[in-house]
Amino acid sequence: MAKTASVHFSCSECGYSTGRWLGRCPSCASFGTLTEEAPPAATRLAEAKPLLRLADVEVEDAERIPTGVPELDRVLGGGLVPASLVLVGGEPGVGKSTLLLMALAAISRDRRALLVTGEESTAQVKLRAARLGGAEQVEILAETNLETVCATLERERPDVCVIDSIQTLYSAEIGSAPGSVTQVREAAAKLLRVGKESGVALFLVGHVTKDGSVAGPRVLEHLVDCVLQFEGDRYHAHRVLRAAKNRFGSTNELGVFEMTGAGLQGVPDPSAVFGQSDGEVGAAVACALEGTRPLLLEIQSLVSPTDLAMPRRVATGVDPKRLSMIVAVLSRHAGFSLGAADVFVNVAGGVRIDEPGADLAIALAIGSAARGAPLRPGMASFGEIGLTGRLRPAAQAERRAQECAKLGLNAVLVPVGTEAQAKIELVQADTLLHAVSAALVKAKMQAA
């Protein structure tokens, strides 16, 4: 009697595999996530292949494919690399499908562009394309079967293909439901092989979990060449595109879009949008650096007395640990009494700041809110704050100062030792205490 293949179960959350069903996954402690899967097919022993030296490998210089969306090209590093795999993740409704349909419409003018849709019908896609305009030459395939999609790509060989979304594809060879860890892993692996062998550049649209990470196994992000995160609130107009991984370019570039009635429009000068301040109490303008792009951002702060035993330090768009450090330095070295006050900090426009050059602007916004005094009108700032209260120069000061001058600001507050040739007044300070004294309007300063 032939031996029957054993059945195994895999967790849809973490990919843990076991030979029997369990109500709770031993690996991630999730309930009801173990699903039955068919055993893998038997494989025959593979033959060894000859080895090559890197010096003997022939490389053809392939030009990048422009997507027709300048902000997307900026984040990708200058365009789409042929035969690459790009994963685009984001919250529902943020505009992932709209952005990629706009890119396909521009690419289809001189190249073949294919959209594989598993979430919408062809009629729904056509209605959205009619609103955006210019997508008449985009080819479309409404299919969720992985084998059919791969066979179509191998036969048609388009230059660029968008899979919307990777979680809707399923393989008949695997017993789990579409969107499970095993199905997503299998779909990504097969699409990777087909894309590399057929020379098709692939965009994979990925869903995200509640914490904002791409749904599915972590191996999905390791397989692809580039991981793009599309961020923003669906109830606000502006969106931010950044690269979490990029094998062919920098991960520090930032793309800014505005959602309009005609689709997503790139914002070539985001400083004019995010860096507006009307001299309000608790508001400061920071000149941050995202990749090679300087950005003027408005930092907002609120300092309020609290009855709680542990005052709150709430940060939106700023690292909470860095906020706690800045508050501690303000209390210890700048004479602010913040131990009995809640401190709230927000970056206007939904942008996130990760670089230390924005420390000084955050501290000035908190100092302005604590003393009830606005900052000097038309002043921006950048610089890193040390635990001793001294200021350290930020990188690429020249580009930051030029951005401030271009936006018509009067002065920029910088640490001592900062050198810049821009046509703008440089106000230098060596410590945080001196910076607060130079930035706040003295006529309205009150005791901390």
Instruction: Please state, in angstroms and rounded to a whole number, the distance separating the CA atoms of residues 407 and 194.
Output: 48
Q: Please compute, for residue 228, the number of CA atoms within 13 A of its CA located in the half-sphere on the CB side.
A: 30
Would you say 206 and 191 are in contact if contact means Cβ atoms under 8 Å apart? no
pLDDT at residue number 179: 78
Instruction: Please state, in angstroms and rounded to a whole number, the distance separating the CA atoms of residues 26 and 100.
Output: 39
What's the whole-model pTM score? 0.72
- Highest mean pLDDT: which range of 101-105, 184-188, 418-422: 101-105
Mean pLDDT value across residues 339-358: 88
pLDDT per residue over 301-343, tens digit each?
999 999 888 999 999 989 999 999 999 999 999 989 998 999 9
The full length of the chain comes to 448
Residue 359 has pLDDT above 90, yes or no: yes
Would you say 254 and 291 are in contact if contact means Cβ atoms under 8 Å apart? yes
Tokens 């046509």 map to which residue?
A: 423
Pairing of strands 85-90, 201-206: parallel
Q: Which residue has the higher pLDDT, 217 or 82?
A: 82
pLDDT at residue number 56: 84
Instruction: Please state, in angstroms and rounded to a whole number, the distance separating the CA atoms of residues 351 and 361.
Output: 15
Pick the closest to residue 217 from 8, 7, 16 (CA basis).
16
Tokens 């990629």 map to which residue?
A: 100
pLDDT per residue over 237-251, tens digit each?
788 888 888 998 888
Share of the chain above pLDDT 70, in %: 90
Mean pLDDT value across residues 348-376: 90
**Six-digit token pair at 378?**
């038309």
pLDDT per residue over 172-225, tens digit each?
887 777 877 778 888 999 999 999 999 999 999 988 776 666 666 677 888 899
Average pLDDT, the chain: 85
Pick the closest to residue 115 from 91, 94, 99, 131 (CA basis).
99
pLDDT per residue over 267-279, tens digit each?
877 777 666 666 7
2 pLDDT tier (thresholds 50, 70, 90): very low
**Six-digit token pair at 57?**
């490998």
38 pLDDT tier (thresholds 50, 70, 90): low
Mean pLDDT value across residues 42-58: 78
pLDDT at residue number 178: 81
